Amino acid sequence: MVVYATREDVMRALDVKLTARNSAQIDRALESASRDVESLCHRTFVPNLASKSFDYPGPQTGRPWRLWLDANELISVTTLSSGGVVIGSTDFFLEPNEYGPPYNRIEIDLSSSAAFSSGDTHQRAITVTGLWGYRNDETTVGVLAGAVATTTATTITVNGTASAQLGVGSVIRIDDERLIVTGRSMADTGQNLGSTIDQQLKTVTVPVADGTQFAMDEVILIDSERMLIVDIAGNQLTVKRAWDGSPNAEHTNGADIYAPRSLTVQRGALGTTAATHTNSTAVVRWDPPGLVQDLVIAEAIARLGNEQAGYSKTRRTGDGGASERAVDANALSGLRQRVYQAHGRKGQVRSV
């Protein structure tokens, strides 16, 4: 299942180090938080390529030239057919065009000769193949650092820019294939430490042969110490030492530099087909709505805090602390309301 924030988003917000135990706990909290946000908004947000069939909209259910999609929100159409006949892309409209996607209905262009028809039966007479979901907002985050030579490979390598902008839970697209990042591990960057650096936390400059091979906000690993890149000036990386709770230590000239550029992925996700991809192909990240991502992070953090407190985390209010209520009772309500107002599907009465 797709989540609307990454494991790293939550870890950064909590400022906690990576361990196998808390990774599983965070992943579980993100999963439940994402499903709760979908329930709150009465919609799913992730784009999904699929074919869906609908009954012919006869006189009892609506205008014969209008197909209501209801909860089956649509981003774009690849093929539309009715009664076994393909309807051309210029012969129908996706509505509401003023502010879609998402679109909640398809209407035949009444100036054309096209029409919805039942064929042999009105049942499932109309088939729509396209991209379903809320919106397909994407950001190019980097490129592949090596070819994906088979359709069964579940590990891909990306460059530093992509490494800095992807996390466990990210939905990415390479060519026409969508993939879900399910894990990250360290890979050799091919760069080495340019001179010895001591173990002092105030020593924050890491010299390398080619600073263009790294990216701001990328985590690097030298020996057993993780460091966060906060600035790059030429071939000098400015870092935060002892990142993720790792021990700071002295590192000698020529030490290998690693970064989490090896991604474990789910192939052919969200209705797409696994394919091969060449080196340096663009890696594109799908971006959920900002408020949705914020709420999922907040809900996940609240779950983690409540779990640690045994779901008895309360505060006293009033004179003498006469009443108690959960700490997060009001902390999240405002954000939930804003998300629902901006992205929730409201009840509507429509004319058929």
Q: What type of residue sits at position 13?
A: A
Cβ of 117: how many Cβ atoms within 10 Å? 16
Q: What is the pLDDT of residues 77-88, one digit of tens each?
A: 999 999 999 999
Write the DSSP assignment of 130-141 as a string of letters: EEESS---EEEE
DSSP 246: P
Stated pTM of the model? 0.90
What is the average per-residue pLDDT within 260-285? 98
- Is the distance from CB of 106 to CB of 128 less than 8 angstroms? yes
Q: Which residue has the tokens 């096209």?
A: 114
| pLDDT at position 261 | 98
Q: Which of 157, 139, 134 lies closest to 147 in space, CA to CA?
A: 157
The whole-angstrom separation of Cα 282 and Cα 93 is 32
pLDDT at 314 over 70: no
pLDDT at 351 over 80: no
What is the average per-residue pLDDT within 285-304? 96
Between 109-123, 135-149, 267-281, 287-301, the lowest mean confidence (pLDDT) is in: 109-123
CA angle in degrees (0–180, nearest 5) for 183-44-131: 90
pLDDT at 214 over 80: yes
pLDDT at 319 over 70: no
Please, which pLDDT band fits residue 122 given cuts at 50, 70 and 90? Answer: confident
| pLDDT at position 325 | 47
Please, which pLDDT band fits residue 60 given cuts at 50, 70 and 90? Answer: low
Q: Is 188 exposed, middle or buried (0-12, 13-18, 19+ CB in 10 A)?
A: middle
Please, which pLDDT band fits residue 317 given cuts at 50, 70 and 90? Answer: low
pLDDT at 324 over 50: no
What is the average per-residue pLDDT within 122-148? 97
pLDDT at 322 over 50: no
Task: Give buried/exposed letters for 301-332 (b at 16+ CB in 10 A, else e).
Answer: bbbbebeeeeeeeeeeeeeeeeeeeeebeeee
Between 173 and 64, whose confidence is greater?
173
Residues with Cβ within 8 Å of residue 180, at least 6 apart in sequence? 2, 169, 170, 171, 172, 265, 266, 269, 270
- Rounded to 5 degrees, φ, ψ at 109 are -70, 110
What is the average per-residue pLDDT within 70-80? 96
Q: Which residue has the tokens 């001591």?
A: 198
| pLDDT at position 306 | 84
Q: What is the pLDDT of residues 167-206, one digit of tens each?
A: 999 999 999 999 999 999 999 999 999 999 999 999 999 9
DSSP 85: E
The whole-angstrom separation of Cα 38 and Cα 298 is 15
- Is the distance from CB of 36 to CB of 299 less than 8 angstroms? yes
Alpha-carbon Rg for the chain in angstroms: 25
What is the average per-residue pLDDT within 131-159? 98
What is the average per-residue pLDDT within 37-50? 97
DSSP 21: H
The whole-angstrom separation of Cα 104 and Cα 225 is 51
Q: Which residue has the tokens 């640690």?
A: 308
What is the average per-residue pLDDT within 195-220? 96
Q: How many CA atoms lie within 13 A of 224 on its CB side?
A: 5
Average pLDDT, the chain: 91
3-state secondary structure at position 33: helix
- The percentage of the chain sitting over the pLDDT mark of 90, rounded to a whole number, equals 80
| pLDDT at position 53 | 96
- Is the distance from CB of 271 to CB of 177 less than 8 angstroms? no
